[in-house]
Each structure stands twice: as structure tokens, then as C-alpha cells.
């Protein structure tokens, strides 16, 4: 085992010991560790990604935990680079301010605040804001833009410090980061410490049911150590003096939940029927039992076999094959589908990724306009959730004889007409 990895022996949510491997996923390098040419000589390790099910509470998790300093201190992803996410956060802030009646000067704290996009919208509405994000450069840049951001990992000790300096928080938010932390119990203790008596913790995470239903297995990467469903979360919050009182289904990240929790016994909001209904649905589907994940693994393998056959046939015929996408999910997909040695390059529309090289396999990342100069015969749309806008944008590539291969949720070839 690498010096950068520790293995968890107990469930992250309930502390149970009955952890069963249910979804084997190929080991990969750190998903967003794209490097410049000057660092191509540096080794990049592969780390385990297998998912385990807690047979005590039903939580699905990665038990091989990569040192968070390796993952997050030099993080390069910024919210503003993600299609539609800034607008999502604008609507999010409007909704939450209205729903909970946040008044001027109310304190809003965001865990994993990144470039401060969400907090900026709360600030516009008169709230006091504090961000917490361990990515030092991103935190520094957010602070320079007027979003005070602490370059630290959130926990109970930091929460006590923030409360002493700023008072109790009307709202604590954690978006697409509540799945990232190994010691979730200490984070929730910190949230409880930081919240005012009537404060609300709101979080967004990918939803396990959608990960299964929509073949979003490529959202499994080392930054994500938990894959959340409602029943285990409900028990987890209760154990730590909190109460999950509402859940909303949202489209973000291919299928997510927005959860709302309050302090107990101080919080007095009634528990929505959605919470009990989703727990009942998860139980009926068997999300807390191994068979659904074994079936899922088999279905993924079938798609891998189909994609591999198409790519191998093209290469055997002398055709050139490239990939489209250079995101975190692309790393998982390429390594699990054995594509890292079968592509000539990766096209991507994010200027921050262009000119870099993919983790460990070192495929060059180039602007998508290169499709018209290097003219690959086939392009695998690795960022398959965005396949439709990518195909629409590159009708000329198809008109000139190119072929797109969309690998998921069902492999399909797209040609002109």
C-alpha cells in the first residue's frame, strides 16, 4: 500500500465493521492531476477505487483513503469552469435565502467554497460570508475578490474558531464536498457547533440511486470517498445530534440531492415526507444490499466490452482514435475501460486543461479545434454527460467524415446524418 493511502476498517457513517466489496473499479491516478510538460518525468501513482457496502447501515464508500493534502492542497478545478454550475449556484442562493428567510448580515459559511461563486451570490443579498477551502491558491484568489476564505480543512476545531470570531451561522453549506471527507463525523460535529440554534445545514451530493440508474460510475474517484443515500445519512445525522428534515432531488452532476439538516433538539422544522418516502424507496430497491451492485458491475463490464471492441476494431483498421474531455470523471472512465493506451490525444474546451497531460498516461490535452487539423477518424466522448452539446458544436467534424463514440449510458456511434 502506498504511503499516501490509509485503509479504513470501519464504516464512515455508523462505525460498523461489516464492509463488503461490492463494486470493483480499476485503480487510477489522482483524477485531476493533469501535469505540464515540465513534470512529465514525475511518477504518478495509481490508487485503489473499489467501493464497499456497509452491511450495518447501507452506506457505500471507498475505504482506501488518499492523503487529503495530496488531493486538495494544489487543487486546480474552479467552479466557474463547469458548464452551468455558476447559474445553478445563483438560483440556489435565491432559493435558500427565500426558503429560510435569511436576513441582512446573517452569517453564511461554506465548506469547500472553492472560488467563492456561491458565497458571492449570498453576499449580494446582504449576508456576511466566510469560505473554507484547503486549496491554498484558490482560497487566496477568492479572498482577493472579496470572499474571505480560510485555506484550511473544516472540522470541529476550526468551527469553534469561526463561531468565536463571527457568531452562530444561519446557514452552513457544503456542495459536492460532503462526499470528499474521510472524517465526516468531525465535520458534522463542527457544523453543529457552528450553527445558530435555528440554523440550517444544506448540502449537495451526487445521489447513489442516480449513480446506479444513470451509469455515473465515473463519478467514483479518489476525492469522493462516500456515495450517499438517504437511509444511512438519516441515521448518521441522528447519531450526532442533528436531524435530516428535508431532501430535494436536483439535476446537478447527472443526479444529486440537496439535503437540509438542523440541530436537535433546538431545530423545530418538521421532517418532510420526502425523507421517509425516499428511505422506503431505497429499501424496496435494495440499495443497502449487495445484489444491486453486483448487477451494476456486470452492466458496466458489458459496456466496457462493447466500447473496447469498437475502438480496437478501428485501430486494427488503421484508424486514428482520440478522446473528448479532460475532467476528473474522464480519468476513471479511461482507466476502467482500458483506453489510456488507445487514444492519440484528448480534446477539451477548458483553457485551464489545454497544454497539460492526462494523469499518468500523459495523453496531451488540446483545444477541440484540433479535431479539424489532426482529423482523428473516431472521437470517444469521454465527457459523455455533455455528448449532445459536444456533437451539436462539432457538426463540421461529422460532415467531414468523423465519427463520435458515446460510451455511456449505452454505447452508440454518431455519424453525419
pLDDT in tens, 234-272: 999 999 999 999 999 998 878 999 999 999 999 999 999
User: For residue 83, is it within any domain?
Assistant: yes
Q: How many domains does the chain contain in total?
A: 2
User: For residue 292, is it within any domain?
Assistant: no
* Whether residue 254 sits in one domain with residue 340: no
User: For residue 14, is it within any domain?
Assistant: no
Domain that holds residue 116: 79-285
CATH number (domain holding residue 186): 3.40.50.150
> Mean pLDDT over all residues of the chain?
94
User: For residue 319, is it within any domain?
Assistant: yes
* Whether residue 274 sits in one domain with residue 154: yes
Could you tell me the CA-to-CA distances from 348 to 35, 330, 371, 382 in Å, in that order?
A: 15, 11, 10, 10
* Whether residue 258 sits in one domain with residue 169: yes
- The answer on pLDDT for 295 being more than 80 is yes
pLDDT in tens, 180-195: 889 999 999 999 999 9
* Whether residue 386 sits in one domain with residue 275: no
CATH number (domain holding residue 322): 3.40.50.720
User: For residue 72, is it within any domain?
Assistant: no
* Whether residue 332 sits in one domain with residue 256: no
User: For residue 9, is it within any domain?
Assistant: no
* Whether residue 116 sits in one domain with residue 243: yes
Of 222, 256, 285, the residue that ends a domain is 285
* Whether residue 278 sits in one domain with residue 150: yes
- Of 225, 223, 228, 95, the residue nearest 171 (C-alpha): 95
- The answer on pLDDT for 167 being more than 60 is yes
How far does Cα 83 stand from its chain's mean position? 14
* Whether residue 224 sits in one domain with residue 161: yes
* Whether residue 128 sits in one domain with residue 259: yes
pLDDT in tens, 106-161: 999 999 999 999 999 999 999 999 999 988 899 999 999 999 999 999 999 999 99
pLDDT in tens, 62-95: 999 998 777 755 555 555 556 577 888 899 999 9
Of 251, 285, 319, the residue that ends a domain is 285
> How far is it, in rounded angstroms, from Cα 207 to Cα 228?
6
User: For residue 409, is it within any domain?
Assistant: yes
pLDDT in tens, 370-386: 999 999 999 999 999 99
Of 229, 255, 285, the residue that ends a domain is 285
* Whether residue 224 sits in one domain with residue 93: yes
176: left (phi over 0), alpha (psi -120 to 50) or beta: left
What is the pTM assigned to this prediction? Answer: 0.92
At 6 the pLDDT is 93
User: For residue 204, is it within any domain?
Assistant: yes
* Whether residue 342 sits in one domain with residue 232: no
* Whether residue 331 sits in one domain with residue 242: no
The region of weakest confidence among 41-50, 69-78, 203-212, 395-404 is 69-78
Amino acid at each position: 500500500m502506498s504511503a499516501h493511502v490509509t485503509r479504513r476498517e470501519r464504516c464512515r457513517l455508523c462505525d460498523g465493521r461489516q464492509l463488503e466489496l461490492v463494486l470493483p473499479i480499476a485503480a487510477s491516478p489522482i483524477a485531476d492531476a493533469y501535469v505540464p510538460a515540465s513534470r512529465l518525468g514525475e511518477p504518478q501513482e495509481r490508487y485503489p477505487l473499489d467501493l464497499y457496502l456497509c452491511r450495518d447501515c447501507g452506506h457505500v464508500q471507498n475505504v482506501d483513503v488518499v492523503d487529503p493534502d495530496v488531493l486538495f492542497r494544489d487543487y486546480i478545478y474552479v467552479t466557474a469552469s463547469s458548464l452551468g454550475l455558476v447559474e445553478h449556484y445563483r438560483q440556489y442562493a435565491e432559493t435558500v435565502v427565500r426558503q429560510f428567510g435569511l436576513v441582512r448580515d446573517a452569517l453564511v459559511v461554506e465548506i469547500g467554497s472553492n472560488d467563492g461563486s456561491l458565497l458571492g451570490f449570498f453576499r449580494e443579498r446582504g449576508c456576511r460570508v466566510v469560505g473554507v477551502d484547503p486549496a491554498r491558491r484558490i482560497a487566496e484568489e477568492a479572498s482577493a475578490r472579496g470572499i474571505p476564505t480560510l485555506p484550511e480543512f473544516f472540522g470541529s476545531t476550526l468551527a469553534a474558531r469561526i463561531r468565536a470570531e463571527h457568531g452562530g451561522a444561519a446557514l452552513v453549506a457544503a456542495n459536492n464536498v460532503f462526499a470528499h471527507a474521510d472524517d465526516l463525523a468531525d465535520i458534522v460535529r463542527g457544523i453543529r457547533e457552528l450553527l445558530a440554534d435555528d440554523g440550517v445545514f444544506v448540502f449537495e451530493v451526487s445521489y447513489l440511486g442516480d449513480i446506479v440508474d444513470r451509469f455515473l460510475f465515473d463519478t467514483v474517484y479518489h476525492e469522493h470517498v462516500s456515495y450517499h443515500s438517504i437511509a444511512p445519512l438519516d441515521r448518521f445525522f441522528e447519531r450526532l445530534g442533528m436531524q435530516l428534515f428535508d431532501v430535494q432531488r436536483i439535476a446537478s452532476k447527472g443526479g444529486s440531492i440537496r439535503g437540509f439538516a438542523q440541530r436537535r433538539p433546538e431545530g423545530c422544522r418538521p421532517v418532510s415526507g420526502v425523507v421517509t418516502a425516499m428511505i422506503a424507496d431505497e429499501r424496496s430497491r435494495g440499495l443497502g444490499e449487495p445484489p444491486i451492485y453486483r448487477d451494476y458491475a456486470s452492466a458496466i463490464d458489458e459496456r466496457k466490452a462493447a466500447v473496447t471492441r469498437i475502438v480496437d476494431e478501428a485501430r486494427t483498421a488503421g484508424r486514428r482514435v482520440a478522446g473528448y474531455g479532460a475532467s476528473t470523471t474522464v480519468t476513471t472512465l479511461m482507466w476502467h475501460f482500458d483506453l489510456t493506451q488507445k487514444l492519440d490525444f484528448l480534446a477539451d474546451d477548458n483553457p485551464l486543461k489545454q497544454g497539460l497531460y492526462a494523469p499518468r498516461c500523459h495523453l496531451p490535452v488540446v483545444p477541440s479545434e484540433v479535431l479539424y487539423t489532426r482529423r482523428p477518424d473516431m472521437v470517444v466522448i469521454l465527457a459523455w454527460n455533455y455528448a449532445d452539446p459536444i456533437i451539436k458544436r462539432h457538426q463540421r467534424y461529422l460532415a467531414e467524415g468523423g465519427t463520435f463514440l458515446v460510451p455511456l449510458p449505452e454505447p452508440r456511434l454518431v455519424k453525419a446524418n
